[in-house]
């Protein structure tokens, strides 16, 4: 929130100037709509002799910790779920031309390597998913009790970061799909893996996109 616009809005409202006139004056001066809305939203629209400030979110180390851990566990769940589905697809549609492990290293048949990788993915999900659910519930309960928490700085930054990562993943997934389509190489495993990436990334993107719209309405 721009402090200069905030102070101008407070003084104008204190003198009895309507919100519409304040917004119009700021708009003519060249201020952006987000700055204008943020300044106007800082004061409650109630009948009182002076502008009444709304409660504003405050930044705490605990809040940063919770949101960082929340988005970290979300990333772990999304990655390991996708990797687990990939391994299942590889088991169902084995590639005879690829008998060695995906990442090199110690030898062994591909099936045993896939099973070991699945154990790692399942282990990560068993640990990360309950933590993610707990934090998800904790955050939503806190926002219901205190709606100002929807304006949390760490939450907004990490939400838009999640939108950026998932949108980039979706763009890459669709581009890869079109590339293989033009080359006539749409094998069943590739289609299934592309669908997996699209569903996981699209689900995360859709949830946070709707959540951002709720913030704007609020």
Q: How many domains are contained in the chain?
A: 2
- Residues 154-168: tens digit of each pLDDT: 888 889 999 999 999
DSSP of 54-65:
PP-----HHHHH
Calpha distance 191→186 (Å, rounded) = 7
Question: Based on the domain organization, do 134 and 162 belong to the same domain?
Answer: yes
Query: Residue 161 in 3-state DSSP?
Result: helix
- Residues 168-199: tens digit of each pLDDT: 998 998 888 888 888 776 788 888 999 999 99
Question: Based on the domain organization, do 84 and 36 belong to the same domain?
Answer: no
Question: Based on the domain organization, do 109 and 206 belong to the same domain?
Answer: yes
Question: Based on the domain organization, do 49 and 71 belong to the same domain?
Answer: no
Question: Based on the domain organization, do 69 and 134 belong to the same domain?
Answer: yes
Structural domain boundaries enclosing 46: 3-53
Q: What is the pTM of this model?
A: 0.69
% of the chain residues with pLDDT over 90: 34
Instruction: Please give the sequence-ordered ranges of beta strands (E in DSSP) within the chain, or none if there are none.
Output: 43-44, 52-53
């Amino acid at each position: 929130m721009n402090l200069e616009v905030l102070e101008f809005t407070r003084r104008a409202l204190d003198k009895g100037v309507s919100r519409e006139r304040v917004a119009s004056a700021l708009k003519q001066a060249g201020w952006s709509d987000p700055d204008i809305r943020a300044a106007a939203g800082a004061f409650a629209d109630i009948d009182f002799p002076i502008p009444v400030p709304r409660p504003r979110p405050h930044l705490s180390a605990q809040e940063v910790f919770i949101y960082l851990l929340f988005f970290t566990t979300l990333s772990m769940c999304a990655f390991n779920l996708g990797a687990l589905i990939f391994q299942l697809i590889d088991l169902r549609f084995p590639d005879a031309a690829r008998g060695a492990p995906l990442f090199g290293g110690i030898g062994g048949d591909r099936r045993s390597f896939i099973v070991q990788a699945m154990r790692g993915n399942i282990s990560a999900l068993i640990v990360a998913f309950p933590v993610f659910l707990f934090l998800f519930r904790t955050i939503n309960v806190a926002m219901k009790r205190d709606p100002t928490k929807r304006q949390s700085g760490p939450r907004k930054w990490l939400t838009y970061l999640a939108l950026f990562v998932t949108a980039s993943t979706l763009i890459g997934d669709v581009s890869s799909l079109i590339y293989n389509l033009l080359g006539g190489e749409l094998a069943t495993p590739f289609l299934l893996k592309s669908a997996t990436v699209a569903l996981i990334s699209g689900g995360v993107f859709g949830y946070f996109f709707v959540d951002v719209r709720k913030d704007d309405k609020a």
